[in-house]
Amino acid sequence: MRRTGARIGVQLVLAGCFFTGLAACGSAIPSDWKAPDGLGHADTYLEMRIVGLGAVTFQPTAQPCISMDDEVYQCEPRLWHGASVVIRASTDPGWTFVHWFIPPSEQPHAPVDISPAMATAIVLPVGTQAEIGAQFTREALPLQATKDETTGATTYRTTLTNPRHAELSVKWTGPSCGEWGPQGEAVTYKSSQSLKMTWTRPADCDASGTDVVLTVTGWESGGTVVCTFPGAESGTGGECLEDVSSL
């Protein structure tokens, strides 16, 4: 699915399994998945998957499911007898919770209500027996555009969070007229990286702020996701418009 918006902004290109179908991650759920034999109708049985960095806790209390890396992490099954279960998502620094999901290959076998899917905590009724996923994605601040009316220069700023110090490639794309920089590609491993680009637009320049794009590329296993953060000539841009059509 693609959602479009203004071109000005930050393009965040991060490899990973940031989507609800897991087949491209190399660990798709078998189409014949089913709960183990011997479970009763009042037994609540969960297999949890985490995409990204985060954790899932349970009430009644059970061992939390905590991802170990940026990829797809599967926890050992959890079992409760005669109890409904609250599952709650919590994030690592620099990450945010997206939603709960049932892998598509499992849906015909386990019609489980996980609404509201974007709530950090949901209640599963007694007897739920399913595999459920929790999806997390990196945080990135919207692009901030500040224009100096005296000089005509516009400065674009954002901050990237990278708590695991992964290798990130950073590259600005600027307009076709005027002076802008920095140019070229740079690599950062910092846990928090402030980025800035300044564009001085001459009076006869017909380009606009929509020609300014920052692309950040990260390498992980799985696939890619592109977040475009719409900006403005001045002020705060919009939130991420996520494109996962390439997966």
C-alpha to C-alpha distance for 189 and 169, rounded to whole angstroms: 9
What pLDDT score does 226 carry?
55
| pTM score | 0.56
- Residue 115 burial (C-beta neighbours within 10 Å; 0-12, 13-18, 19+): exposed
In a shared domain, residues 86 and 166: no
Whether residue 159 is found in the same domain as residue 69: no
Query: Could you tell me if residue 210 is inside a domain?
Result: yes
Do the domain assignments include residue 2? no
Q: What is the pLDDT of residues 111-136, one digit of tens each?
A: 688 888 889 999 999 999 989 999 88
* Spans of the chain below 50 pLDDT: 1-32, 108, 220-223, 243-247
Element (H, E) at 187: strand 185-188
168 and 108, same structural domain?
no
Domain end, chosen from 138, 156, 172, is at 138
CA 196 vs. chain centroid, Å, equals: 23
Contact 64, 149 (CB under 8 A): no
Residue 21 maps to a domain = no
Tell me which residue range forms the domain holding 166. Answer: 9-16+139-243
Give the tens place of pLDDT for each residue, 58-90: 999 999 999 876 667 888 999 999 999 999 999
The verdict on residue 163 lying in a domain is: yes
